């Protein structure tokens, strides 16, 4: 699939010398949020060992609204004490059942072209890394190229201390710590990705067809490329 029109600079860069590319995950690679879907599954199946009183997911959403970093860290801490093997197994089930058909075809084709041309491709997500792993495998990405929320792990059990929370400025900072430099290309779908896009040489806002978003307005203001995607047929509602 050749890209033209507004995306011609992206086509030229893909065909140029390989570099470093970074993709947000939720809303950029696929429709929906795998970290939230995993949290809802853990709540529904009563897997959490020490859930707070009240509506756990509503408390998570409230925290994200006030301070995204705190909200994403809160979601990770809820998994404290769970076997990592269980979290990974549930993540596989969630992705297979809810996200396998939710990938955005346009974005997937671009990512696979980058890989085929020898690009170093990272996924940088505010979801916990274990929920992102099945999608990364589905796209042919090495798991060591995932930058996500992580917890300490001891004797196979998740701890309660988030080691990193990639959101806002944490996204480019943690990518730079892992990859050693800022990206040549970056793709994101929300204002939480704006700092990552700001640090890239070429930035692409992934936007819904027919919908206006804050990131879309920011992309127009800053001259970032815009890639419009439709909700995948057969994907999540």
Q: Which residues of 23-61 are buried (b: 16+ CB within 10 A; e: fewer)?
A: bbbbbbbbbbbbbbbbbbbbbeeebbeeeeeeebbebbe
What is the per-residue pLDDT across 187-224, written as a single tens digit (0 to 9) for each?
999 999 999 999 999 999 999 998 899 999 999 999 99
What is the per-residue pLDDT across 80-129, written as a single tens digit (0 to 9) for each?
999 999 999 999 999 999 999 999 999 999 999 999 999 999 999 999 99
- Specify the residue for token string 């206006």: 212
Rounded CA separation 202/56 (Å) = 39
Residue boundaries of the structural domains of the chain: 5-229
pTM for the whole structure: 0.96
CB neighbourhood size of 6 (10 A)? 11
In CATH, which of 3.30.70.260, 3.40.50.12280, 3.40.50.1000, 3.40.50.300 is domain 5-229? 3.40.50.1000
Answer for the pair 115, 121: CB distance below 8 angstroms, yes or no: yes
Rounded CA separation 12/105 (Å) = 20
- Specify the residue for token string 């009240």: 54
């Amino acid at each position: 699939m050749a890209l033209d029109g507004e995306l011609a600079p992206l086509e030229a860069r893909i065909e140029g010398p390989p570099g470093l590319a970074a993709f947000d995950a939720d809303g950029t690679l696929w429709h929906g949020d795998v970290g939230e879907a995993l949290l809802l599954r853990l709540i529904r199946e009563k897997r959490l060992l020490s859930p707070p009183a009240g509506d756990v997911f509503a408390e998570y959403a409230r925290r994200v609204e006030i301070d995204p970093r705190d909200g994403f860290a809160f979601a990770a801490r809820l998994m404290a004490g769970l076997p990592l093997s269980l979290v990974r197994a549930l993540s596989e089930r969630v992705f297979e059942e809810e996200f396998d058909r939710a990938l955005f075809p346009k974005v997937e084709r671009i990512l696979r072209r980058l890989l085929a041309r020898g690009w170093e491709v990272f996924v940088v997500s505010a979801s916990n890394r274990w929920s992102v792993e099945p999608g990364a495998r589905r796209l042919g990405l090495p798991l060591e190229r995932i930058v996500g929320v992580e917890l300490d792990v001891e004797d196979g059990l998740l701890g309660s201390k988030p080691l990193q929370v990639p959101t806002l400025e944490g996204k480019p900072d943690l990518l730079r710590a892992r990859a050693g430099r800022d990206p040549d290309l970056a793709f994101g779908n929300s204002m939480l990705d704006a700092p990552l896009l700001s640090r890239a040489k070429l930035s692409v806002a992934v936007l819904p067809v027919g919908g206006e978003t804050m990131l879309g307005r920011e992309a127009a203001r800053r001259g970032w490329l815009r890639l419009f995607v439709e909700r995948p047929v057969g994907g999540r509602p």
